[in-house]
Amino acid sequence: MKQNLKTIMILYRLQWKNWLKGYINLSLGIGVTILTLLIWLSFKQDDPFLLISAIAVGIARNSISTFLRTISDWRTKGFSERLDNTPISNSIKFFAIFSFNLFNCIFVTILVFGIGQAFFPEQRAYLSEINWAMLSTGLFLVWLISILLSYVIFIAFKNQQVMMAIATLLYFFITYLLGLGFPYHLIIQYQWLKVILYFIPHRYMINVLQAAWVNAPNMKYDFYSGSELKWSVDFGFGGQLWIPYFVTILMIIIFTLIILLNFIYKNRFHKIEGAGFSAFKAKSLKYIDEIKNISDIQTLEAISKTRDLEVRFYRVKQRAENYKFKIYIDNKDKNRNNKKE
């Protein structure tokens, strides 16, 4: 137990250093988010969706980019491979990475919420209206779908720059189309934008959060200034709260299955690689024993040449076995798809 806790704290420190070095993530995930919120609330102090949208954007940005940057940096620098060769269990590694990211997002949430409440007293009026069940589940699911989506991106792409570009593009979609960059009631006035919103994974739970902030479980809200109706919002689910939850949970299941299938594939690959390495290691020990009994340089040179040839043969054989296994998996997937058709 103590050893596991020590391991978790070491991984926490590594992630903390990595987070502080992510200047772009700090500026976009926290700086720009807070600045955008302050600018909009300066003109629209009583807007019901700006503060909760800023909180959601902060969570999405930090849980996608921070997590993605950490695991991609570790893979690029070879740290992931070294970590895999340690006796540290996968459950400990993933708990350390996931929990650090969760604490990071909680910090961002408290920071953004505190700034909104401290500088804009009009926002405090909404505290008595919040639907806490919708709010708590919505915040957790925004974080969870962000983490899983970022890992799917990590699996799909090997180039770190491509991964971070996708994460940044997703951040801009979430920021400017889901209630922070532009007021949400203005966005949904355009039919083509409403269609695009359905393809943004975070849209569903962010809409739930916005509805939770004003206690609108029917997913519709009318904004009044005094007795005058200023604008209305229909989040587009036919008044059915279960629809955004269902779609989000379905995406979470799909992302989880992709991640699990990737783990299964990697485990099979390592088993094949491990079997070949065991035989290779046994031969290495045999040569060490032979070298100990060598009395002349010619015999040593002969063993060295033989060993060099065997090393080359082992590498070629491993590449061939890995390629055959990849073809086997691909054919198996094709056959499964053909049967479904």
CA 158 remoteness from chain centre: 15
Three-state DSSP state, 294:
coil
Structure tokens at 275: 């079997």
Sign for the CA dihedral angle at 30, 36, 42, 46 comes to negative
Q: What is the phi/psi pair of residue 78, to 5°?
A: 80, 5
Q: Would you state the pLDDT for residue 336? A: 62
Q: Would you state the pLDDT for residue 80? A: 75
Calpha distance 64→67 (Å, rounded):
6
Q: Would you state the pLDDT for residue 5? A: 85
Which residues, other chains included, contact 155 with Cβ-Cβ below 8 Å and sequence gap of 6+?
258, 259, 262
Q: Is the separation of the CB atoms in 197 and 174 below 8 Å?
A: no
Secondary structure element (H or E) that encloses residue 224, with its range: strand 220-225
Q: Would you state the pLDDT for residue 321? A: 63
The DSSP bridge partners found for residue 234 are: 220
- Rounded (10°) angle between helices 132-156 and 160-177: 150
Q: Would you state the pLDDT for residue 103? A: 92
Phi-psi region of 291 (alpha: psi -120 to 50; beta: other; left: phi over 0): alpha
Structure tokens at 40: 């909009």
The residue extents of the domains of the chain are 2-240, 266-340
Q: Which of 176, 182, 180, 185 is nearest to 223 (CA)?
A: 185
Q: Would you state the pLDDT for residue 243? A: 97
The DSSP bridge partners found for residue 222 are: 232
Structure tokens at 91: 């459950």
Q: Would you state the pLDDT for residue 3? A: 75
Calpha distance 330→310 (Å, rounded):
30
Q: Would you state the pLDDT for residue 330? A: 64
Calpha distance 174→56 (Å, rounded):
9
The pLDDT tens digits along the chain (341 residues) read 777 788 888 888 888 887 777 676 677 678 888 898 999 999 989 999 999 999 999 999 888 888 888 888 888 877 777 777 677 777 888 888 899 999 989 999 999 999 999 999 999 999 999 999 999 999 999 999 999 999 999 999 988 889 989 998 999 999 999 999 998 989 988 989 988 999 999 999 999 999 999 999 999 999 998 888 999 999 989 899 999 999 999 999 999 999 999 888 877 655 545 445 455 455 555 555 555 555 555 554 555 566 566 656 666 666 666 666 566 566 666 666 666 55
Q: Is the separation of the CB atoms in 139 and 209 below 8 Å?
A: yes
Calpha distance 8→299 (Å, rounded):
51
Three-state DSSP state, 22:
coil
Which residues, other chains included, contact 236 with Cβ-Cβ below 8 Å and sequence gap of 6+?
188, 194, 197, 198, 207, 219
CA 247 remoteness from chain centre: 18
